[in-house]
Chains A and B, each alone.
Chain A
Amino acid sequence: MITIELNGCKQGVPPGSSVSDILALIGSNGKNAAVLVNEKIVRPENRSTVFLHEGDRVEVLVFAGGG
């Protein structure tokens, strides 16, 4: 296992996990989410080919209510 930071929390994931794997892990279909790895946006078409490494910071963001 490697450890990444997912939405601010430490998370163990199998080595070789892609961004798509992480989205599946947390139960997001990814369609309505923006993903950043180490502050860089990972576009939907690249999510299955961007792989995570020890210490990577992953943010998964959605739209919530706001004024």
Chain B
Amino acid sequence: MKETVSKSWFLPEEDNRHQYNFEFMDLLPLGSYTFSSRLILGTGKYSDIRTMLDAVRASGAELVTVALRRFNREQMEDDLFGPLSEIGGITLMPNTSGASSAAEAVRAAHIARELSGSPFVKVEIHPNPQHLMPDPIETFEASKILAGEGFIVMPYISADPVLAKRLEEVGCASVMPLGSAIGSGQGLKTSGMLDLIIRESTVPVIVDAGLRSPGEAAAAMEMGCAAVLVNSAIAAAGDPVAMAGAFSLGVVAGRRAFTAGLMPKSGHAIATSPLTSFLGKEP
């Protein structure tokens, strides 16, 4: 027999007092720019440009990373500038990947700005291809120079609260500590250090690298990260476009949870239902 539930248990349809306002303003400030999306997308590793473009659209990302590479007539499809320009509302954030010193990163940033016209630069200096860990000394030097030149500098760093503070002090618009190694999908291995960085920072903290699932993106946002940067988790997913949408939802859910305020943790159980005066028991 089919169960029926009285409509009276629910709010009348016209009563939307408890509907969540998904349009509320919670902008991400970066330099003199603001973004409504807190998901930043990388464009590497996609099987083809069309999938990448569809993933960017599905993600709702407004800030998108690209890398500088030599022109190759045999690989014309590598040129993403034209295709990305077709998507409205996108700001490019070129990275300095490939640089192994501050001088190379500064040079790459200048070339990228010439090409993109964007003031954003993701400072990324990882000299060892085996682990791709960022070089803190070269990253600091390059960030300091580029911030002094007026770039909106977003340095990719290890989850080091001391370095994060020093980068903030030299004018970086954000700090982007890694969750785990680039492309590893190992998630938020650095959560303890990320927590310290978030507590100490006055600039947005963006987790960059290592995330595998929308749940991890949500967890990062719940911790108080201002945004997440995701590439491999979407590009290497079974269905990258669907995964881009899922990450978008994860980031929104995590951010809303953070702004709503998570309940305090307790070391013991705290009943949600009354435990006294139950069916004949004494109060």
Contact = CB atoms under 8 A, between A and B. Distances in A.
Interface of A: 7-8, 26-28, 31-34, 36, 39, 41, 43, 59-67
Interface stretch (B26-34, B67-75, B197-205, B255-263): B67-75
Interface string B235-267: 000000000000000000000000000000000
B46 interface: yes
Interface stretch (B16-24, B111-119, B166-174): B111-119
Interface residues of B, number: 39
B92 interface: yes
A58 to B, nearest CB: 10
A33 B44 contact: no
B63 interface: no
A64 B79 contact: yes
B162 interface: no
Contacts, number: 101
Contact of B78 (A34, A39, A62): A62
A67 B65 contact: yes
A41 B71 contact: no
Given A26-B71, A61-B68, A61-B115, 9 more contacts: A26-B73, A27-B73, A62-B70, A63-B116, A64-B66, A65-B66, A67-B43, A67-B65, A67-B95
12 contacts: A34-B68, A34-B115, A41-B110, A62-B68, A63-B84, A63-B94, A65-B43, A65-B44, A66-B42, A66-B66, A67-B43, A67-B229
Nearest to B183: A67
Contacts of A32: 79, 81-82, 115
